[in-house]
Amino acid sequence: MSLKVRDLRVYYRTLAGDVKALDGADFELADGEITGLVGESGSGKSTLGKSLIKLDGRMRYVSGTVELDGAELPVRDSARMNDFRFREVSLIPQYAMSAMNPTRKVGRMIADLLESRGERFRALRPELVRRLELVGLGEQVLGRYPIELSGGMKQRTVMVLSTLLDPSLLIADEVTSALDVSNQRAVAETLAGFRDRGFVKSMIFVTHDVALVNQIADTITVMYAGRLAEKGPAKTVVNSPRHPYTRMLISALPEVGVSHGERRLSGIPGSPPALLDPPAGCRFRDRCPLAFDKCEQEPPFAEVEPDHSVACWKA
């Protein structure tokens, strides 16, 4: 097991109280596993991704432990996390296209970043160039300003930069959301290639796009209202989901080659609960067609079959 997360809770501080964006995440990631973390906006998937590398100013660590390769990650202590960032845990940010300082040449900006991690740019340069070539970029990008690169080139540069120190865990936060479909596929495949080559050990691929995740991820993790709803092998989650939310989510997706002329795709009626003061028990209860009395109690995130966990009493 490369990553073990136990009961991780991270809240957002607001004047009205704590917004429980991540309220008890429990999961594991095997060596070499790519998991696609899906869920709607506000389900806490980005919060989960971020809390594994850097809590921003408004986030408050409440409880839980994170273990990476047998060592505990000090997620609550930003200063101590510094030693782990880029080396053990790395992030491809949502904003990869604007992640580079417009006033500095790409090579210089990478040198700055490496220097602040205590690495020597000169020593790493051959490897950097090799990896840039791997993603189809020439060495000359190092001598250019970010504005001279296309969006896709910037994204690939940031991908190479984020994985240059061979982190154990890579968090790809919505990396494909700003790309067109053909680029989405290419980026996803590049990331899978990084895993195959051993640049990263395991990966959390945060996205809205179930179809894309289905293509590259080994497992799919579904989040709903700050909690994990279901985690299992990609095929299983897509073809035979157990959690009612996952089922409705999958059935709301259009399929290639299927004509939807006669019937409308069914959405999920209702909206997620406010996380400022979420209701007790199962949070999907109000929208769930299967809800019954027991749902007043919180269902555990339990394994229903090997490697397949679901948080539902009916699963």
Partner 1 sequence: MSTEQAGPPTGAGPAPGGGGAPPDAAVPAGAPLAAAAPAGRRGGELAYFALRNGKLVAGLVIVLFFLLVGLFAPMLLPHGPNEYDIGPQGAPPSAELWLGTTRFGQDVYAQFVHGLRSTFLVGLLGGGVAFAVGMVVGFVAGYRGGWVDEVLNMITNVVLVLPTLAVLIIVAAYLQARGVAVQSLFIGLTSWPWAARSIRAQTFSLSSRDFVDLARLSGRSSWKIIFRDIAPNMSSYLFMTFILLFGGAVLIAAGLDFIGLGPTDGTSLGLMMNQAVNWGALQLGMWWWFVPPGLGITAIVGALYVMNVGLDEVFNPKLRET
Site residues for partner 1 per CB under 8 A = 53-54, 57, 82, 85-86, 91, 93, 95, 98-109, 111-113, 116-117, 121-122, 125, 139-140, 142-145, 147-148, 158
Nearer to partner 1, 101 or 271 (CB): 101
CB 56, min distance to partner 1, A? 8
Q: Please state, as a whole number, how many other Cβ atoms lie within 10 Å of the Cβ of residue 47.
A: 27
Nearer to partner 1, 114 or 250 (CB): 114
Interior angle at CA 309, CA 308 and CA 312, nearest 5: 135
Cα gap 207→194, rounded to integer Å: 18
CB 220, min distance to partner 1, A? 27
Nearer to partner 1, 138 or 270 (CB): 138
CB 72, min distance to partner 1, A? 19
Token pair of 35, please? 């998991």
CB 36, min distance to partner 1, A? 23
Cα gap 253→173, rounded to integer Å: 21
Select from 9, 2, 113, 1 the least CA-distant residue to 55. 9
CB 285, min distance to partner 1, A? 37
CB 205, min distance to partner 1, A? 18
CB 125, min distance to partner 1, A? 8
Cα gap 172→204, rounded to integer Å: 6
- Spell out where the chain has E strands: 3-14, 17-29, 34-38, 59-68, 71-72, 89-92, 169-173, 202-207, 219-224, 227-233, 302-305, 308-310
Nearer to partner 1, 164 or 210 (CB): 164
Nearer to partner 1, 86 or 313 (CB): 86
Q: How far is CA 220 from CA 73, 118, 130, in A?
A: 23, 35, 31
b/e map of 192-202 (b: 16 or more CB within 10 Å)?
bebbeeebbbb
CB 134, min distance to partner 1, A? 17
Nearer to partner 1, 206 or 268 (CB): 206
Q: Which residues pair with 63 in a beta bridge?
A: 9
Nearer to partner 1, 51 or 219 (CB): 51
Token pair of 195, please? 């895993």
Cβ pair 249, 210 in contact under 8 A:
yes
Nearer to partner 1, 98 or 236 (CB): 98
